[in-house]
Structure 1
Amino acid sequence: MRGACREGGTGPGTRHSHAPGSHSVTDPLPDPLPAPLSDPLPDELLSLALEAARRAGELLRDGRPEDLAVAATKSSPIDVVTEMDIAAEKLITGFLAEARPDDGFLGEEGASTAGTSGVRWIVDPLDGTVNYLYGLPTWAVSIAAERDGETVAGVVEVPMRGETYRAVRGGGAYCGDRPLRCRPAPPLEQALVSTGFNYVEPVRRHQAEVARLLIPRLRDIRRGGSAAVDLCDVAAGRLDGYYERGLHPWDLAAGDLIAREAGALTGSRPGEPPSRDLAVAASPGVFAPLQRLLDDLGAWHD
């Protein structure tokens, strides 16, 4: 694996303490005895998600024409990207449905079935479409598994960075085999924060105004272009925080779990979970002041 994923204390033998509305990492434990009553399902779901994401990542990486602008059989480069997006989702859902035919699906490209098992897969086959279109490396395959409405496993595959992020609820977050931990919290004015912008002009204008008012209060702002990767970068300690309005469940599900399992806090407006109105993720010392500031600036509305 390439990439400088930050090592931390979230591997085996680490207890996770869940304060109200947050997930954080606390004191290490001695090596435990095997727990025969532990639930194997999340690990099984994670293994399936890892393989599905790997296959989809290879499809997208190897199937992208060298020059999308001159793709001979398509009316525009966007058509090629859309075709790859759909093909990747079909690969993922087909693989998972063959392994677990009773599960439900929620996918960006239209895969939506209820299922009967209590497990639902939330799939973004290509998060960072514009980056993919332009040949930038920051795009990802994002797959999460919900059980009874709670995310229990998540994978974010970033093929062009050679990174695979994964987490199981209560089991820590990893990049490959390396445990992740979010950065020690700096003061807000020294925090590096990422965001994203909507493509609807009036919404975009308001988001730009929020960013203009926010920048003087931070070290700086980045715009990476993939929500899933931004959340993993918070988990890996490359960012102190991230916020965005207008995200869908498939944008958030896997990356949110990975960030929380790396010790980050996530939410929306104060006291609310991440939502389409606003998603915020940050290291514990940055989260509350960033959340309050975003609320004051109206980042949760258009």
Structure 2
Amino acid sequence: MYELELKISQQAARKAGHFLKKEFFLWDSKKINYKKGNERVTWCDKGAEKIILQILNKNFPSYSRLSEESGSKDRDSDYIWIIDPLDGTTNFTVHHPLFSVSIALLYKNNLVLGLTYSPITDEMYWATKNQGAYKDGQKIKVSNVSDFKKSVVTYCHGSGPNNRKKAHKLYEHFHNICHHCRHFGSTSMELAMLASGDTEAFMVSGARLWDVAAGIILAQEAGAKVSDWQGQKWNIESKSILVGNKKIHALCQKELKKIKLA
């Protein structure tokens, strides 16, 4: 199922990604603007979104959509595209190559498709429900590392001082008990890295749906356990996310309780 949606969304992500890659190497930091919450936004975010929406709307005119830059468009459909045209805007604006295009599809509020495209490395990650997760056509699985001391844990945070405080507390604690604790600045890429076995766990509080939707189905289809920080099954209303292989997920949740974040 969803072969057509996957094909078209991959085309949209690649076209937007090629646009972003070109602009990345021409970027001038004077072009930065700021939106609510002091988040950076560029005309490249909006340009990439325009490319994606033109392709998706042409091929699926009845589907609703939720996109970071232009908001929601409700067409009274069971299908909703979730779009982040440039995940990692700050990285992009400081000439850091870790950023991505992220597209997911909900059916009756359940994730059925997700993809993350890295323009600079030309890597495409994707998953459809019950069909596994893939990177450039090769099936991927989460890491089987079970020892914290050999684990790389990544984290991110939503906007606002409360979420930043939680992130600082995460880093301070996990940095001392695992091999590495890192914040890479692109939630979609951090989840893609976990899904492909490059890292062992990922945690975030206050993320928006477009930040995580594609990455969550990637991780699930790659064999990860996905929950909120309290251990409840993740859903589109969840305020926090913990993702990892089953062993590391359990260890992370135990540590979150120790530092009173769960």
Give TM-score scaled by structure 1 length: 0.79
Identity %: 26
Correspondence for 2:37: none
Q: Deviations over 1:207-264 (max 9, x none)?
A: 2123212222212201111110000100111101111111111011111101111111
- State the alpha-carbon separation in 2 of the partners of residues 207 and 54 from structure 1: 32
Let me know the Cα RMSD of the aligned residues. 1.9
Deviation at 1:91, TM superposition (A): 1.4
Does 1:273 find its partner at 2:231? no
Larger strand fraction of residues:
2
Name the residue aligned to 1:140. Answer: 100
Highest Rg: 1 or 2?
1
The within-5 A match list for 1:10-159 is: 40=1, 42-64=2-24, 66-69=26-29, 76-78=31-33, 81-159=41-119
Give me the whole-angstrom Cα distance separating, in 1, the residues matched to 2:77 and 2:189.
29
* Separation (CA, whole Å) in 2 of partners of 1:51 and 1:161: 16
**2:158–2:208 Cα contact (<8 Å) kept:** no
CA contact (8 A) 1:123 1:144 kept: yes
The answer as to whether partners of 1:244 and 1:278 remain within 8 angstroms in 2 is yes
CA distance in 2, matches of 1:253, 1:204: 21
Asked whether the 8 Å contact 1:102–1:115 carries over to 2, the reply is yes
Distance 1:206 1:184 in 2: 27
1:227 aligns with 2:187: yes
CA deviation vs aligned residue, 1:189-208 (integer Å, no higher than 9, x gap): 33210012455345423421
Q: Secondary structure at the match of 2:111?
A: strand
Aligned 8 A contact 1:241 1:286 in 2: yes
How do 1:153-302 residues align onto structure 2 when only pairs under 5 Å count? Answer: 153-198=113-158, 200-201=160-161, 203-268=163-228, 269-273=230-234, 276-299=238-261
Give the Cα–Cα distance (whole angstroms) in 2 for the partners of residues 295 and 84 of structure 1.
40
- Shift of the 92–67 alpha-carbon distance from structure 1 to 2, 3 Å rule, reads closer
Displacement of 1:132 in angstroms is 0.6
Cα distance, 1:277–1:118 mapped onto 2, change above 3 Å: closer
How far is 1:294 from its partner?
A: 1.8
Alignment-mate amino acid for residue 264 of structure 1: A
Bigger relative contact order, structure 1 or 2 (CA pairs below 8 A, ≥6 apart): 1
Letter matched to residue 240 of structure 2: L
Distance 2:198 2:44 in 1: 29
Q: What TM-score comes out, normalization by structure 2 length?
A: 0.90
* Offset, 1:148: 1.3
Unaligned 5+ segments in structure 2 are 35-39
Provide the rounded CA distance (Å) in 2 between the counterparts of 1:50 and 1:267.
Answer: 27
**3-state SS, counterpart of residue 216 of structure 1:** coil
